[in-house]
């Protein structure tokens, strides 16, 4: 696998654009992603029972093919009733008309402030503008990636190239947004995280199950604040323009998809609202991958764990308490808890006994580990052979400040 510097238009046959239409005061707020030919797709959606209008529209369409996505930022079009549904449908229709494709081949997504109506007069002017601006290369990649952002401080993109078993090189690329209201639990077919991934690989069958597997080891195991959005959506489009044999059962292809998805997911939590530290949780020795992921996610979503790490406070009882609230089966006497970072490592709990006692050298070593920008919580349950990972960030004073004034 070769890691690429490119963005969403890296695979063959894709164009993108990002423009300012007036939803936001100044920043880019409308993106279009387009494939030269219809592409097979798989889509994962939020499990929040309060679903935004674009989610409702997309779930009703339940597309198996897409040629374009239109995405606005700055307004979630969520909790907007029948008007919101009509606005999402109009975004689809206007984009299809501007591109000269059928409505069925256009998807829609939104992100931003909840329970405000879209300024459709501005959106209607912006969509043809975005379609006219469609292009390939670094500038198009940059504009599209920035147009889907809200409180994000940086754009988030990733790409790689893999060689299939038949020798065909294919490219996988994606963009995502997310900084707050991040704790996705997306399901296929039925995440605020929006992610759009594209590939020029050829896929011959239904790949919803594969896409769900990718979700479960990427976007579904991240957390900034434990809140699942009304708008979470993750899309994979495959247009087949690289040629070659179908990649449905090619391990190299799915490894590339997993790599891009995980890179995008990690970039979300690194840029979490108010975040100062990246936290990685590794759970080993679990009975099953599901239990391992449950344990890792339970720890990464704990506000008490997050605040302790923000303050470099080695209050490891919070980690074990979060573990106990997960679905993982274990005997605490067999659990080993280690903190690692930047080459430093310290064991906090082992053989049923704490190694950290107030004022001892273990406490000092733990505080040193927790002072680093990236912290790894490494747990061995010693109850099986499965491993699971999750990623998150700390919870800081700035998170409260940002969200206390989100609409003001």
CA distances to 227, 262, 280, 316, 340 from 223, rounded to whole Å, are 8, 13, 11, 19, 20
Q: Please tell me the distance from the alpha carbon of residue 93 to that of residue 174, in angstroms, as a whole number.
A: 24
Which segments of 77-218 are extended strands (E)?
106-113, 156-163, 169-177, 194-199
Q: Retrieve residue 323's tokens.
A: 């573990």
| Both tokens assigned to 174 | 């994606």
**Could you give the C-alpha distances from 286 to 115, 200, 294, 326, in angstroms and in order?**
42, 37, 10, 12
Tell me whether residue 192 is one of the annotated catalytic residues. Answer: yes
The C-alpha atoms of residue 303 and residue 47 are separated, in whole angstroms, by 21
What is the spatial distance between Cα 283 and Cα 323, in angstroms, rounded to a whole number?
10
From the list 95, 192, 199, 301, the catalytic residue is 192
Rounded Cα gap, residues 135 and 192, in angstroms: 27
**What's the CA gap between 233 and 309, in Å, rounded?**
29
Could you give the residue numbers annotated as active site?
Answer: 192
């Amino acid at each position: 696998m070769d890691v690429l510097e490119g963005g969403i238009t890296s695979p063959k046959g894709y164009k993108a654009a990002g423009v300012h239409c007036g939803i936001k005061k100044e920043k880019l707020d409308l993106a279009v992603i387009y494939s030269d030919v219809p592409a097979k797709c798989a889509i994962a959606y939020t499990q929040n029972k309060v679903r935004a209008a674009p989610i409702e529209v997309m779930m009703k369409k339940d597309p198996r093919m897409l040629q374009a996505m239109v995405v606005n930022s700055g307004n979630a079009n969520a909790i907007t009733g029948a008007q919101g549904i009509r606005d999402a449908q109009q975004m689809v229709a206007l984009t299809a008309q501007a591109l000269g494709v059928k409505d069925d081949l256009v998807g829609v997504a939104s992100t931003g402030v909840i329970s405000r109506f879209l300024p459709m007069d501005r959106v209607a002017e912006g969509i043809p503008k975005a379609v006219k601006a469609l292009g390939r290369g670094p500038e198009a990649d940059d504009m599209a990636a920035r147009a889907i952002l809200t409180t994000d401080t940086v754009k988030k993109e990733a790409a790689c190239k893999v060689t299939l078993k038949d020798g065909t090189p294919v490219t996988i690329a994606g963009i995502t947004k997310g900084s707050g209201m991040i704790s996705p639990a997306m399901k296929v077919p039925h995440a605020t995280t929006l992610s759009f991934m594209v590939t020029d690989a050829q896929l011959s069958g239904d790949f919803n199950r594969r896409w769900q597997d990718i979700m479960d080891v990427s976007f579904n195991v991240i957390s900034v604040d434990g809140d699942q959005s009304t708008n979470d959506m993750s899309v994979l489009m495959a247009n087949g323009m690289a040629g070659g044999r179908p990649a449905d059962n090619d391990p190299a292809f799915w490894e590339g998809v997993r790599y891009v998805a995980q890179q995008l997911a990690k970039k979300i939590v690194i840029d979490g609202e108010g975040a100062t530290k990246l936290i990685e949780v590794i759970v080993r020795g679990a009975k099953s991958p599901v239990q391992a992921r449950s344990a890792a996610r339970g720890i990464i979503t704990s506000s008490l764990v997050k605040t302790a790490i923000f303050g470099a406070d080695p209050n490891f009882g919070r980690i074990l308490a979060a573990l106990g609230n997960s679905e993982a089966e274990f005997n605490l006497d067999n659990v080993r808890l280690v903190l690692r970072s930047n080459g430093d490592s310290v064991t906090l709990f082992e053989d049923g006994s704490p190694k950290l006692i107030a004022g001892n050298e273990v406490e000092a070593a733990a505080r040193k580990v927790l002072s680093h920008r990236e912290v790894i919580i490494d747990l061995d349950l010693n109850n099986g052979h499965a491993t699971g990972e999750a990623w998150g960030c700390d919870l800081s004073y700035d998170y409260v400040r940002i969200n206390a004034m989100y609409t003001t």
